[in-house]
Amino acid sequence: MTTEPLATAGTVIVRPALVGDADAMARVFVDSFRAGHRGQVPENVLQSRTYESSAAAWRRDLTAPSPGEYISVATIGGEVVGLAMVGPPHPWADDDTARGEVPTAECWALYVDPSRQREGIGRLLIGDFSRHLAGQGIRRLLVGVLTANAPARAFYESLGAALIGSRLNLDEGQTFPESVYAWPDLPTKVLD
Ligand SMILES: CC(C)(COP(=O)(O)OP(=O)(O)OC[C@H]1O[C@@H](n2cnc3c(N)ncnc32)[C@H](O)[C@@H]1OP(=O)(O)O)[C@@H](O)C(=O)NCCC(=O)NCCS
- Could you report the per-residue pLDDT of 5-16, keeping only the tens digit for each? 455 445 999 999
Average pLDDT value for residue range 68-91: 95
Distances (CA, A) of 155 to 15, 23, 33, 143: 21, 27, 16, 12
The number of the ligand 1 atom at minimal distance from the alpha carbon of 126 is 12
Pocket of ligand 1 (CB under 6 A): 32, 36, 110-112, 117-123, 145, 149, 151-152, 154-155, 158
The runs of H, that is alpha helices, within 83-192 are: 96-99, 121-135, 150-158, 188-191
Per-residue model confidence (pLDDT) at position 3: 44
Q: For a ligand 1 pocket test, name from 32, 72, 118 the mutation site with the most ligand atoms within 8 angstroms of its C-beta.
A: 118
The number of the ligand 1 atom at minimal distance from the alpha carbon of 156 is 16
Q: What is the pTM of this model?
A: 0.93
Burial of 134 (0-12, 13-18, 19+ CB in 10 A): middle
For residue 79, pLDDT over 60 is answered with yes
For residue 180, pLDDT over 50 is answered with yes
Average pLDDT value for residue range 118-135: 96
What CATH homologous superfamily does 7-138 map to? Gcn5-related N-acetyltransferase (GNAT) (3.40.630.30)
Euclidean distance between the first and the last CA atom of the chain, given in angstroms as a whole number: 24
Taking the C-alpha atoms of residue 142 and residue 139, their distance in angstroms, rounded to an integer, is 10
**pLDDT per residue as tens digits for the range 26-73:** 999 999 999 999 999 999 999 999 999 999 999 999 999 999 999 999
Give me ligand 1 centre to Cα 123, in Å: 8
- Show me where the domains of the chain are located: 7-138
Give me ligand 1 centre to Cα 118, in Å: 6
